[in-house]
Structure 1
Amino acid sequence: MAKLQLCLILFATIGCFLSGLQVRAMTHIVGGSYGWRLPSANISFYQDWARPRNFTAGDKLVFLFTTGLHNVVEVKKEDYDECTQKHVIKTYTNGPAIFELTKPGDHFFICGLSNQFCNGGQKLSIRVMNGDTSSDGGGLFGIITKSSSSSSSADSIYSLGMLSGLLLALMMIINIIFFI
Structure 2
Amino acid sequence: MYAISLGEDGAELRPLEPWHAEEFLAHLDRGREFIGRFIAFGAGSTDVPSARAQLQRYADMRAAGTGSLHGLWLDGKLVGGVLFLNFDADQGNCEVGCWLEPAASGRGLVTRAMRILIDHAVEERGIHRVEWVAAAGNVPSLNVARRLGMSRDGVLRQKHPHHGVRHDLEVWSVLAPEWRAARADADGEDR
- Is the TM value for this pair above 0.5? no
Could you tell me the TM-score, scaled by structure 2's length?
0.23
Could you tell me the TM-score, scaled by structure 1's length?
0.24
- Higher RCO (Cα < 8 Å, 6 or more apart): 1
Q: Higher strand share goes to which structure?
A: 2
